Chains A and B, each alone.
Chain A
Amino acid sequence: MHEFHFWPTLITIVVIFCALQATAGFLVYVERKICAYMQNRIGPNRVGPYGLLQVLADGLKFILKEEFVPKTADKGIFLLAPCIAITTAMLSFAVVPFGATDNDAQAYQFVIAPGLDIGILFIFAISSLAVYAIILGGWASNNKYSMLGGLRSSAQIISYEIPLGLSILGVVLLTGSLNLEDITWRQTSAGWNIFFQPLAFLLFMTSAFAECNRLPFDLPESEQELVGGYHTEYNAFKLAMFLLGEYVHMITTSFLMVILFFGGWHFPFIAGPDAHWIWKLIVIAGKVTFFILLYMLVRWTLPRFRFDQLMGLAWKVLIPLALANVIAVMFVVEFRISPWVLLPVSIGILVGAAAPALRPMNGAEPIRAEQ
């Protein structure tokens, strides 16, 4: 029987809560700095040393700003939407282990809810509720930009949820568990899942980018055409709640990528299964930082998709590829073939799918970069 420790759990929750908020706030600063350096600017540098206190200033400003609701808006839903956004984003972090945990009854763990066997399913269930925040916010604002942004976003999020779920299936089949800690443990002995599931990782990453509304998939809030998308009418801390939710979602998906495909806290020679917990913590933090920085570099590197391309990518490319990947894993597991076969097979599927795109279409020359 699992034992529930009230005070240790409460302390863990409070620590994680504050850490998440602080990290999300800090990421805004990091993002602005990276953006600035990539555009040959300096970025925020006025508040505190190197502009490090910018986060604090922004937070304070968000609270002290005038808060109003447009007259034609549906007030109840309008106020409910940001609450849903932040609650769902933060809640899905509850089962993510951010260090080594075990399923024994131990008071302090590196996760809020230890030993929960439905791990991934819980995260998907909760984070897909985030679409309510967007569609309700867009609808309640009674603003044409918000409305369009909300519609686009809901279509995008539900479309990308399917490849997101399908790409995980391979990992679940190989592991036989939805528990994130079990998945990590299996990778310490059998090798990281990225070697068996590179295609699934690509699909997962692409879908995760789209789920987080990050560039190149940030159609819902494309500034140049929709002003701010679903949060055009939001101000003060209500806006901040949407933004915080987005960044927390980013952190969660980075953790998921690391845990599902890159061995979680495991790293050869540095953090084996018997290593001290602090090494495991450092390793997982390093890996997650890498993916968060990747998010940001991608954001300031790639241009935005068009909406029909976006939907086409989800339905015509990602879903068939994900299905092919699942079938490949099924055969490997059923007929007890070595999982290493999956590495060339995955790459083969990917190249095979990309090949038609390189062919000239309808006799026209493919577009080449100009000299």
Chain B
Amino acid sequence: MTEPTFDLSLYYPIFLYLLILLGFATTVMILIHVVGPRKKTPVKQMPYESGMDPVGDARQRFDVKFYLIAIMFLVFDVELLFLYPWAVAAYQEGGVPEVLRRPVFWGVLVFIVMLLVAYIYDWRKGVFKWR
């Protein structure tokens, strides 16, 4: 049985990598700003709308379905986040103790069935219908 440990030094390479990536992105942004030619004309700076003058603003109200999808995503993703630690620990040495495995198994099954109930409810309500 191993004690759970957290070692920040494992993450140092990632921090270093992130710094380099951010540096790269910034450098490129500055570079293309300096190197490229610049001749601004009003037509060039218009938003592209198949060659016509743009009509109105692009930021209008959009379909409520996108919000529904976002909410559904939140529900399912949070469920998923709960399942990951369980999947790692359930049958591991030093994870869930032997005696508790069966109760945990049924518990997780109930958890998934609850998810299924919510899923069926959504389906019946027509959340997944796109037209």
A→B interface (CB under 8 Å): 1-4, 9-10, 12-14, 17, 62-73, 79, 82-83, 86-87, 90-91, 94-95, 112-116, 121-122, 139, 141-147, 151, 154-155, 158-159, 161-162, 165-166, 169, 172-173, 176-178, 227, 232-233, 236-238, 241, 307-308, 311-312, 315-316, 319-320, 323, 326-327, 330, 333-334
Decide if A147 touches B36 in the complex (CB within 8 Å).
no
Decide if A241 touches B25 in the complex (CB within 8 Å).
yes
B residues in contact with A330, CB < 8 Å: 105, 108-109
Decide if B47 touches A70 in the complex (CB within 8 Å).
yes
Given A64-B35, A159-B69, A241-B28, check contact A116 B10 (CB 8 Å): yes
Decide if A90 touches B21 in the complex (CB within 8 Å).
yes
| Interchain CB contact (< 8 A) of B18 among A87, A155, A173 | A87
CB distance from B50 to the nearest CB of A (A): 7
**Interface flag for B121 (CB, 8 Å):** no
CB distance from B12 to the nearest CB of A (A): 5
User: How far, in whole Å, are A70 and B47 apart by their CA atoms in the complex?
Assistant: 6
**Interface flag for B88 (CB, 8 Å):** yes
Given A83-B29, A91-B18, A142-B57, check contact A311 B45 (CB 8 Å): no
Q: A86-B24, A323-B115 are in contact. List 8 more A-B contacts (CB 8 A).
A: A66-B39, A71-B45, A91-B18, A158-B77, A169-B80, A173-B90, A232-B48, A237-B29
Chain A residue with minimal CB distance to B62? A151
**Interface flag for B125 (CB, 8 Å):** no
Decide if B58 touches A236 in the complex (CB within 8 Å).
no
B→A interface (CB under 8 Å): 7, 9-14, 16-18, 20-22, 24-26, 28-29, 31-33, 35-40, 42, 44-50, 54, 57-59, 62, 65-66, 69-70, 72-73, 76-77, 80, 83-84, 87-88, 90-92, 95, 101-102, 105, 108-109, 112, 115-116, 119, 123, 127-128, 130-131
Interface secondary structure of B, over-half rule: helix
| Interchain CB contact (< 8 A) of A1 among B9, B66, B90 | B9
Can you list 5 A-B contacts with CB-CB less than 8 angstroms, sorted by A residue number?
A79-B29, A144-B54, A145-B48, A176-B92, A237-B29
Decide if A67 touches B32 in the complex (CB within 8 Å).
yes
Chain A residue with minimal CB distance to B90? A173
Given A65-B36, A159-B69, A236-B36, check contact A9 B16 (CB 8 Å): yes
Given A13-B13, A91-B18, A116-B11, check contact A334 B80 (CB 8 Å): no
Closest 6 CB pairs of A and B: A308-B130, A83-B25, A71-B45, A143-B47, A172-B87, A158-B73
CB distance from A369 to the nearest CB of B (A): 27
| Interchain CB contact (< 8 A) of A173 among B66, B77, B91 | B91
A residues in contact with B16, CB < 8 Å: 9-10, 13
Decide if B36 touches A66 in the complex (CB within 8 Å).
yes
Chain A residue with minimal CB distance to B36? A67
| Interchain CB contact (< 8 A) of B31 among A63, A94, A166 | A63
Decide if A334 touches B102 in the complex (CB within 8 Å).
yes
Decide if A176 touches B95 in the complex (CB within 8 Å).
yes
Decide if A67 touches B38 in the complex (CB within 8 Å).
yes
A residues in contact with B72, CB < 8 Å: 315
User: How far, in whole Å, are A83 and B90 apart by their CA atoms in the complex?
Assistant: 39
Given A9-B16, A70-B47, A147-B58, check contact A1 B7 (CB 8 Å): yes
B residues in contact with A10, CB < 8 Å: 16
User: How far, in whole Å, are A87 and B102 apart by their CA atoms in the complex?
Assistant: 43
User: How far, in whole Å, are A237 and B13 apart by their CA atoms in the complex?
Assistant: 27
CB distance from A276 to the nearest CB of B (A): 25
User: How far, in whole Å, are A14 and B76 apart by their CA atoms in the complex?
Assistant: 38
B residues in contact with A83, CB < 8 Å: 22, 25-26, 29
